[in-house]
Amino acid sequence: MKFAIVSKGDQRSNKIKATMKQYLTDFDLVYDKENPDLVISVGGDGTFLEAFHRYVHRLSTTAFIGVHTGHLGFYADWVPEEVEKLIIEIAKTPFQIVEYPLLEVTIRAKSGGKEDCFFALNEATIKTADGSVVFDVEIKGEHFETFRGDGLCVSTPSGSTAYNKALGGAILHPSLDAIQLTEMASINNRVFRTIGSPLILPKHHTCLLKPMVERSFLIAIDHFTTNYTNVKSIQCRVADERIRFARFRQFPFWNRVRDSFVSEGE
């Protein structure tokens, strides 16, 4: 089996990376940065997002696993003290796979031409540096509302504990094939009216955002933000592709939520 390791880059993460690389190679696994079957992220959830995007073109063949060198992470849920155990487990492949849904974002330009397509593991956010955004929000091809406000966030179930949570969104179990649309400071008065609640959309209920006022948009896909002008529409839906996690032990999602936000379990 071929593996790659993505480190956060700090001394501690680099040291764990070196140890894992050494031991796994001793177990006859092959370090291959280009075509890994398994990608190990060492750092935080941010590092895991980086690893995901580095290998996003290999979703159907690559499995991911995260070791955290900071506080408990949602994606990086193995502690450094467990690394030796993890190495032995990896060396004993094949492993079990758990899949989580992803968000597919397609950005189309007014001029037509090539569209930009992305997968997000956490979310996409759409904001602007100049005032507020105004979007017609369509769901499944039907006009739903006209949104005016700071911006919108569309998150995956596993991203629901990140930005989405800060916006008052619900925490969704990643076994649900859905995306969640949350508002950032919508303007609500007698002229502008939005639903005001987070919306959870199932698979095939595509959400289309059409700018009604020309703006330069800051579109973030996970940790990466790009500036777009002349946007015709931003389409969001549950992706057909999924992220695959290598699973070597149980760590139920709700335990991770509890340990991160409520209190550490026993």
Q: Which residues are catalytic, by number? A: 45
Per-residue CA distances from 177 to 201, 205, 237, 244, 247 (Å): 9, 11, 10, 14, 19
> Does the annotation flag 32 for ligand binding?
no
φ and ψ at 247, to 5 degrees? -115, 125
Q: Segment 48-107, which members bind ligand NAP (CB under 6 A)? A: 49, 70, 73-74
Q: Segment 205-244, which members bind ligand NAP (CB under 6 A)? A: 222-223
**Residue 46 is a binding residue for Mn ion (CB under 5 A):** yes
> Does the annotation flag 148 for ligand binding?
yes
Strand (E) positions, the chain? 2-7, 30-31, 38-43, 63-68, 76-78, 96-109, 116-120, 123-128, 133-139, 142-155, 178-186, 199-202, 207-211, 217-221, 224-228, 231-247
Residue 155: CB minimum distance to ligand NAP, A: 7
> Does the annotation flag 123 for ligand binding?
yes
Q: Which is nearer to Mn ion, 41 or 186 (CB)?
A: 41
Instruction: Say how many residues touch Mn ion, by CB under 5 A.
Output: 2
Q: Among 79, 88, 166, 212, which residue interacts with ligand NAP (rule: CB under 6 A)?
A: 166
CA distance 92 to 86: 10
Residues near ligand NAP (CB under 6 A): 44-46, 49, 70, 73-74, 122-123, 158-159, 161-163, 166, 222-223
Residues near Mn ion (CB under 5 A): 44, 46
